[in-house]
């Protein structure tokens, strides 16, 4: 679907005239700069995305949110935008809403280890363990090919930012994934100190076996307490043996294992709080651990990239948002509130982070008034950089009043206060299966 090659278009917005009568397209007081996007394919003309250049000045993290998981257009925009960021702004890695352990396998592939398998493609979004998508495959193939170029000075990297993966949300989250995170850390311990590893394995094994055989909420309180102590002690062990273990292994191996131990501790904290990943309905507990842990993993990945590294983060809009800019948590119920990952990151990074949303007109309509935008020029896709709006006036007021429905949190959230830029789609289609 092609549009006329314009750098931007002026779209009329309805506003109130000083006399109180509604303004029409012929009686504008303000206008909004809109940037049509003619193609989502990698390799498309980067000039269409050049409107982001000014906003990217000084930015180390671009956080891209999607409306819903598993849609073709969202994944294709992610791919095209990441290519643009790498080739024109020196971005060095992507961090995705997928399991941390699963992400290490993806990272190994893109830096040249092993062959591409269907499992690796599924690992790009590990919560959909039943199928892989062609759009994710194309991302991995492009990243590996980029890293293999003779002109590439620095290899791209991939990180998973979730403390668990391969789960249909609450089903089996507590049974399997704390064990997976702990096992990843203990396997490293086996390589650097087999004698010490044996004692730690003996401490963990009865607890992990009981967890897999039952459910967290069914464990006796003594086992829950022992598991909490064991995960906390494992993190401390990694920290106090940091120097000697780095001398016995690669820095990459140590830091991955340490982060996995931290993920085990975070998942235990989530389960103790009857949080996001517990089988008990989330509204009865404290769901805050998940987004806090995701933010920690993003900052860890950024640190691993070094002072000159730049990171693109890909997650759902609800995770990427900055809590309406007011520092208030999003709540499912009065007792179940959480600050979004984006809010945690905003506190740490400030203007070094740019938050970009994807909004779909049909499946997650922010406001029926958006129909006015499509009625004006009918683009299939376009973007709005909210920082380019005037600081006051009808256009700014119009955007300030817009909300979008966040399906996962079952609430409406303000758009311009949560995001710096938004890409708008006129409908989404399902991602392309591998088979």
pLDDT digits (tens, 9 = 90+) for 117-158: 999 999 998 776 567 899 999 999 999 999 999 999 999 999
CA 319, CA 340: separation in Å to the nearest integer?
Answer: 5
423's CB contacts (< 8 A; 6+ apart) are: 37, 77, 356, 357, 358, 359, 381, 382, 383
Question: Which residue in 304, 312, 305, 301 sits closest to 85, CA to CA?
Answer: 312
Q: Is residue 236 scored above 90 in pLDDT?
A: yes
Structure tokens at 351: 């203007």
Structure tokens at 343: 């809010």
Structure tokens at 222: 């003594």
pLDDT-based confidence at residue 367 (cuts at 50, 70, 90): low
CA 17, CA 407: separation in Å to the nearest integer?
Answer: 35
Pairwise pLDDT comparison (304 vs 335), residue with the higher score: 304
Share of residues in the chain with pLDDT > 70 (%): 78
Helix/strand/coil for 397:
helix
Pairwise pLDDT comparison (64 vs 18), residue with the higher score: 64
Residue 70 bridge partners (DSSP): none
Q: Is residue 170 scored above 70 in pLDDT?
A: no
pLDDT-based confidence at residue 193 (cuts at 50, 70, 90): very high
For residue 35, the 8-state DSSP code is E
Residue 324 bridge partners (DSSP): none
At residue 14, the pLDDT reads: 35
Q: Is residue 25 scored above 50 in pLDDT?
A: no
Averaged pLDDT score across all residues of the chain: 84
Cα angle, residue 328 at apex, residues 324 and 330 outer, rounded to 5°? 80
Q: Which of the four CATH numbers 3.40.50.2300, 3.40.190.10, 3.40.1660.10, 1.10.10.10 does domain 9-171+279-425 have?
A: 3.40.1660.10
CA 423, CA 429: separation in Å to the nearest integer?
Answer: 16
Q: Is residue 13 scored above 50 in pLDDT?
A: no
Q: How many CB atoms lie within 10 A of CB 47?
A: 9
Averaged pLDDT for residues 102-125: 95
pLDDT-based confidence at residue 102 (cuts at 50, 70, 90): very high
Give residue 270's Cα distance to chain centre. 19
In this structure, the chain runs to a length of 435
Averaged pLDDT for residues 154-166: 91
Averaged pLDDT for residues 19-26: 35
Q: Is 288:338 a contact under the CB 8 Å cutoff?
A: yes
Q: Is residue 101 scored above 60 in pLDDT?
A: yes
At residue 22, the pLDDT reads: 41
| H or E element in which residue 341 lies | helix 341-349
Q: Is residue 29 scored above 50 in pLDDT?
A: no
Question: Which residue in 154, 97, 129, 107 sits closest to 310, CA to CA?
Answer: 154
Residues 374-410, buried b or exposed e (16+ Cβ, 10 A)? eebbebbbbbbbbeebeeeebbbebbeebbbebeebe
Per-range mean pLDDT, top range of 188-202, 357-371, 421-435: 188-202
pLDDT-based confidence at residue 328 (cuts at 50, 70, 90): low
Minimum mean pLDDT range among 34-43, 279-288, 335-344, 381-390: 279-288
- pTM of the predicted structure, to 2 decimals: 0.90
What stretch(es) of the chain map to CATH 3.40.1660.10?
A: 9-171+279-425
pLDDT-based confidence at residue 175 (cuts at 50, 70, 90): low
Q: Is residue 5 scored above 80 in pLDDT?
A: no
Q: Is residue 406 scored above 60 in pLDDT?
A: yes
Pairwise pLDDT comparison (3 vs 145), residue with the higher score: 145
CA 208, CA 197: separation in Å to the nearest integer?
Answer: 15
At residue 3, the pLDDT reads: 38
234's CB contacts (< 8 A; 6+ apart) are: 182, 185, 186, 200, 204, 261, 264, 265
Q: Is residue 32 scored above 50 in pLDDT?
A: yes
pLDDT-based confidence at residue 205 (cuts at 50, 70, 90): very high
């Amino acid at each position: 679907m092609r549009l006329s090659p314009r750098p931007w278009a002026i779209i009329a917005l309805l506003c109130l005239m000083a006399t109180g009568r509604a303004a029409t397209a012929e009686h504008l007081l303000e206008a909004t700069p809109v940037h049509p996007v003619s193609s989502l394919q990698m390799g498309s003309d980067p000039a269409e995305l050049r409107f982001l250049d000014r906003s990217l000045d000084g930015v180390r993290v671009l956080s891209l949110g999607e409306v819903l998981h598993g849609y073709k257009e969202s994944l294709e925009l992610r791919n095209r935008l990441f290519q643009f960021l790498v080739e024109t702004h020196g971005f060095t890695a992507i961090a995705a809403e997928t399991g941390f352990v699963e992400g290490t396998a993806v990272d190994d592939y893109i830096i040249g280890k092993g062959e591409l398998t269907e499992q690796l493609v599924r690992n790009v979004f590990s919560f959909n363990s039943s199928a892989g998508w062609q759009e994710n495959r194309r991302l991995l193939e492009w990243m590996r090919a980029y890293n293999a170029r003779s002109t590439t000075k620095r290899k791209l990297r991939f990180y998973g930012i979730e403390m668990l993966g391969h789960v249909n949300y609450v089903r089996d989250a507590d049974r399997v994934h704390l064990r997976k995170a702990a096992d990843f850390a203990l396997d490293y311990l086996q390589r650097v100190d087999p004698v010490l590893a044996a004692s730690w394995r003996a401490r963990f094994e009865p607890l992990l076996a009981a967890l897999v055989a039952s459910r967290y909420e069914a464990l006796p309180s003594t086992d829950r307490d022992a598991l909490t102590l064991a995960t906390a002690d494992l993190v401390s062990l990694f920290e106090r043996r940091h120097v000697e273990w780095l001398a016995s292994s690669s820095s990459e191996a140590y830091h991955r294992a340490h982060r996995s131990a931290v993920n085990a501790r975070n998942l235990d904290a989530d389960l103790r709080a009857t949080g996001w990943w517990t089988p008990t309905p989330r509204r009865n507990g404290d769901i805050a651990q998940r987004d806090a842990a995701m933010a920690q993993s993003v900052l860890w990945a950024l640190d691993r990239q070094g002072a000159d590294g730049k990171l693109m983060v890909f997650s759902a809009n609800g995770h990427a948002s900055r809590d309406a800019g007011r520092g208030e948590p999003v709540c499912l119920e009065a007792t179940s509130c959480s600050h979004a990952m984006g809010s945690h990151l905003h506190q740490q990074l400030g203007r070094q982070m740019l938050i970009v949303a994807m909004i779909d007109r049909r499946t997650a309509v922010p406001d029926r008034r958006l129909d006015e935008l499509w009625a004006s020029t009918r683009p299939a896709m376009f973007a709005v950089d909210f920082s380019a709006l005037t600081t006051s006036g009808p256009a700014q007021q119009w955007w300030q009043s817009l909300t979008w429905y966040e399906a996962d949190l079952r609430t409406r959230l303000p758009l311009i206060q949560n995001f710096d830029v938004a890409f708008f789609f006129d409908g989404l289609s399902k991602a392309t299966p591998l088979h």
